[in-house]
Chains A and B, each alone.
Chain A
Amino acid sequence: MIKNWKRVGFIGGLTVLFLLLPLVIKSDYSINLLFSLFLYSAIAQSWNILGGYAGQISIGHSAFFGAGAFVTRLLWVNGVPLLLSLLMGGILAVILASIIGFPALRLRGPYFAIGTMALAEALYLTIRNVFPGVAFLPGKYIATYSLIPRYYIVLTLVGVIGLVTYVVMKSKFGLAIEAIRNDQDAAESSGVNLFKYKVLALTLSALFTGLTGGVFAYYHASYYIAYPFGGGWSFEPLVMTIIGGAGTLIGPIIGAIFFVGLKEVLAIRLGEMHIILFGIIFVLVVIFLPGGIAEGIEKIRRFLFKPEKTVF
């Protein structure tokens, strides 16, 4: 119990700290950095629900991210309230996910990965052909542009995704999902409806990814319309989650801190080289440390503080 209270206190303190931070920090650079940290945490945590907890690897989350960004931007710029536009973006992402999810999640084998990649790549190429231009923010929006509401929205999003993931994974749903990941056959023969839970995980994941895409569209003043559909948005959440530790609540956040931090340090010195480095680190983690940094920390902790269990 006491341990639990410690954790609640820690998270509460962290929340208050992040809520008050914009009052103290006035530099735009720091706020922007925190924003991208939270954005990456949000998309990585969304990927984690499906890829980490449920064990269904998606290599096409850019489709959901892009759809969220596209719809949110379109509606918001045309006068729809922001929260409603965000929600519509999330809903479209879920609809897209169901196109691939319903046929592919019934099957075993590589079909889900194939389907998500096909969806993402087809959508990217099509959007790039149909909308080759840049999405500019109209003048009146630029005039009132401020970082503070954007910061709070992304902070709320990370909080909500983290909380929902925590609650859901503690519930019956979470147990079923974990059973599926560990052994599909055993789960199915114990009466777990595989398809239902996989679809639910996909729905949650796509919804949150779509919302994150919407926040991206709200944040950026101008970007290529096809950019949020690009393959990077599939690659990065996957890499962050796997490096941080897939299937844990803290993993995607560790991964995002690692990713954003290293990018900040390396991108200036190495340019595009930093992606090569990330790719290599990622491959090494997959091969040698399948549990990611979270598992590494756990291993070190166990090595340093031997558990109380005695041999006899």
Chain B
Amino acid sequence: MTSDFVAQIFVFGIIMGALYGLASVGFTLVFGVMRVLNIAHGAFMMIGGYLSFWGFTLYHIDPLVSLLLVAPSLFLIGLIFYIVQVFPVIKFTDDHDKIHISLLISFGLCVVLENIALLLWTGDIRSITTSYAGSVLQIFNIRIPFVGMVGVALAVLFVFALYLFLVKTRLGKSMRATAADWKAASLMGINTNQAYLISFAIGVALAGIAGTLVCMIHSIDPNMGLFWTLKGLIIITVAGVGNIRGVLACGLLLGMVESLSVFIAGASYREVVGLVILVIVLMVKPKGLFTSRGRRV
């Protein structure tokens, strides 16, 4: 009985964790390639979530189909916000300056977007309830919700696709080179500005995809931005800054540890777990849990 219960907790932990991982991938990409700490990442997730929510309530588009619309729209939004968020930042040569200025700009933008969303969509908590939202797969006594399974599958798929893109394609390789050393990369004839632009837009598009899945599996509201950014911050620190492969693993880890903590200590202290993990990692292994020397994807 108890073992079933624990297994069930792990199922929910994995679903949440996959969302955390997907939410953090774009965040890590943007930070890794251009040292832009995009606090507004969660706000872009919120926009993606609301777009798919609109699609569903106004035009009855299934959220899984609307992903095909949300991702390109967010890609475009990313291209536009590049002007505000990245353009004023990349002229600095020092990483420290880049991080600080981008942090301030995106923090301001996060508040702006949050309040615009509050005006547009009110403060109500929304979610998409599809016809198949209630269906579950039952294995022995463990119930796995269908939308959750789809979410985990898509999260893994997108992270894997991004990984392949970065490793196999020419553009992806130029992005990795820029991440490793932008000065050397630009000396070797790599168009670093193009790499910046594409990685920022991809990062925002990934936020939109994550937002859609969050809207389908969990719920969205205008204030969700900081919550998801916080998860992203914890995960990129634990995974090691700029480490994309570790992000999914860390997301799953965080999701499961949080679920377990709810089982042990109650739901009230759930958010403290991430903070404790963060502090421990900063003390013990500040470069991240899953980093080997000098490797970064």
Contacts and interface: CB of A to CB of B under 8 A. Distances in A.
Interface of A: 55, 57, 59, 99-100, 102-104, 106-111, 113-115, 117-119, 121-122, 125-126, 129-130, 184, 231, 235, 238-239, 242, 272-273, 275-276, 278-280, 282-283, 286-287, 290
Nearest to A281: B108
Contact of A235 (B88, B107, B275, B286): B107
Contacts of A111: 237, 282, 286
B99 interface: yes
A103 B286 CA distance: 9
A103 B119 contact: no
Given A111-B237, A117-B233, A103 B101 contact: no
Contact of A110 (B99, B111, B270): B99
A81 B241 CA distance: 47
Given A59-B39, A287-B105, A103 B283 contact: yes
A110 B112 contact: no
Contacts of A55: 100
Nearest to B89: A287
Given A114-B234, A121-B271, 8 more contacts: A107-B286, A111-B237, A114-B278, A121-B227, A242-B104, A273-B119, A276-B116, A278-B111
Given A121-B230, A272-B118, A239 B279 contact: no
B37 interface: yes
Nearest to A275: B115
A198 B228 CA distance: 29
A104 B233 CA distance: 13
A59 B95 CA distance: 18
B117 to A, nearest CB: 10
Contacts of B234: 114, 118
Interface in B176-190: none
Contacts of B269: 126, 129-130
Given A272-B119, A276-B116, A286 B108 contact: yes
A110 B288 CA distance: 13
A184 B271 contact: no
Contacts of A121: 226-227, 230, 271
Contacts, number: 120
A110 B108 CA distance: 17
13 contacts: A59-B107, A109-B99, A110-B99, A114-B234, A118-B275, A125-B227, A129-B267, A130-B268, A235-B111, A238-B104, A278-B111, A280-B112, A286-B88
A63 B275 CA distance: 13
Nearest to A288: B88
B109 interface: yes
A272 B122 CA distance: 11
Contacts of B84: 283, 287
Contacts of A276: 112, 115-116, 119
Nearest to B281: A103
Interface string B203-242: 0000000000000000000000011011001100100010
Contacts of B96: 108-109, 184
Contact of A118 (B31, B108, B230): B230
A126 B268 contact: yes
B181 to A, nearest CB: 16
B9 to A, nearest CB: 19
A122 B104 contact: no
Nearest to B37: A110
Interface of B: 31, 37, 39, 84, 88, 95-96, 99-101, 103-105, 107-109, 111-112, 115-116, 118-119, 226-227, 229-230, 233-234, 237, 241, 267-272, 274-275, 278-279, 282-283, 286
Contacts of A103: 279, 282-283, 286
A1 to B, nearest CB: 38
A52 B230 CA distance: 24
A278 B271 CA distance: 29
A122 B271 contact: yes
B28 to A, nearest CB: 12
B267 to A, nearest CB: 7
Nearest to A271: B119
Contacts of B229: 117
Contacts of A272: 115, 118-119
B277 to A, nearest CB: 10
A290 B274 CA distance: 34
A92 B111 CA distance: 28
Given A103-B286, A110-B37, A114-B233, A59 B279 contact: no
A271 to B, nearest CB: 9
A55 B160 CA distance: 38
5 closest residue pairs by CB, A with B: A279-B112, A103-B282, A122-B275, A129-B268, A125-B271
Contacts of B278: 114-115, 118
A106 B286 CA distance: 10
A100 B279 contact: yes
Given A104-B282, A126-B271, A276-B112, A109 B95 contact: yes
Contacts of A125: 227, 270-271
A111 B288 CA distance: 11
A224 B266 CA distance: 22
Contacts of A114: 233-234, 237, 278
A129 B282 CA distance: 26
A60 to B, nearest CB: 10
Contact of A279 (B37, B108, B282): B108
A79 B111 CA distance: 39
